[in-house]
């Protein structure tokens, strides 16, 4: 298996999953939108986005699908199975539509657009994202106030997915102050080497800096 990745949020998520599971994948840094790369990567993913998992001549794209495949290939309950699976999927689905989406809105304006010179920060979009973040954060805070992980008593993919953008909070500057349960939960994630340093030992150019 080969995993095409970069240091951006969703590819980072896929790499962290592979590292956490100790999956036997070959990692290859990829930049599908770089000059001359579209023809190659359009055959792997018509969206020209990464991560992409290549296996036995076929490809699988989208981080959630890749996490499911890797977990099953390793016989791991990281992607919950059986009666626990619906609860995990509940948090993946809710997170992507609410908490993760809000984080993405703010990070896109303060991070992605600035790294790649897409345009100035749209403060209206930032404010909308921050309001969504606070509303979703209140729900997540209440859930995590009496538990260590989102689903069950060990990390699951739901935890990784929910935290997709938090490693980039140095530029997003999401208001985590006062969200004590979320902060404790994220500190536990940061104790996992695979989450804290997923690119350890990999050839992976740093992201372009955000201009000050």
Identify whether the C-beta of residue 132 lies closer than 8 Å to the C-beta of residue 101.
Answer: yes
Classify residue 69 by its DSSP letter.
Answer: H
- Measured in degrees and rounded to the nearest 5, phi and psi for residue 161 equal -65, -45
Structural domains of the chain sorted by starting position, each given as residue range(s) with its CATH number in brackets = 2-78 (3.40.30.10), 82-192 (1.20.1050.10)
For residue 165, count other CB atoms closer than 10 A to its CB.
25
pLDDT in tens, 139-178: 999 999 999 999 999 999 999 999 999 999 999 999 999 9
Question: In angstroms, what is the C-alpha Rg of the chain?
Answer: 17
Q: How far apart are CA 163 and CA 22, in angstroms?
A: 20
What's the whole-model pTM score? 0.96
Which pLDDT band, with edges at 50, 70 and 90, does 88 fall under?
very high
Element (H, E) at 78: none
**According to the model, what pLDDT value does residue 212 have?**
81
């Amino acid at each position: 298996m080969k995993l095409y990745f970069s240091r951006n949020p969703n590819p980072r998520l896929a790499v962290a999953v592979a590292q956490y599971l100790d999956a036997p994948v070959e990692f290859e840094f990829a930049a599908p939108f770089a000059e001359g790369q579209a023809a190659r990567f359009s055959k792997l993913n018509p969206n020209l986005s990464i991560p992409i998992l290549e296996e036995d001549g076929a490809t699988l794209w989208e981080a959630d699908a890749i996490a499911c495949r890797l977990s099953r290939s390793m016989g791991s309950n990281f992607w919950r199975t059986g009666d626990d699976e619906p609860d995990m999927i509940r948090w993946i689905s809710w997170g992507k539509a609410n908490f993760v989406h809000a984080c993405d809105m703010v990070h896109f304006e303060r991070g992605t657009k600035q790294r790649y010179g897409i345009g100035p920060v749209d403060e209206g979009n930032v404010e909308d994202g921050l309001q969504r973040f606070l509303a979703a954060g209140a729900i997540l805070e209440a859930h995590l106030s009496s538990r260590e992980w989102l689903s069950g008593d060990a990390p699951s993919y739901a935890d990784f997915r929910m935290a997709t953008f938090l490693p980039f909070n140095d530029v997003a500057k999401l208001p985590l102050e006062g969200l004590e349960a979320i902060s404790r939960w994220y500190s536990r994630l940061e104790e996992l080497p695979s989450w804290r340093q997923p690119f350890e030992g990999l050839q992976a150019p740093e992201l372009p800096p955000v201009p000050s």
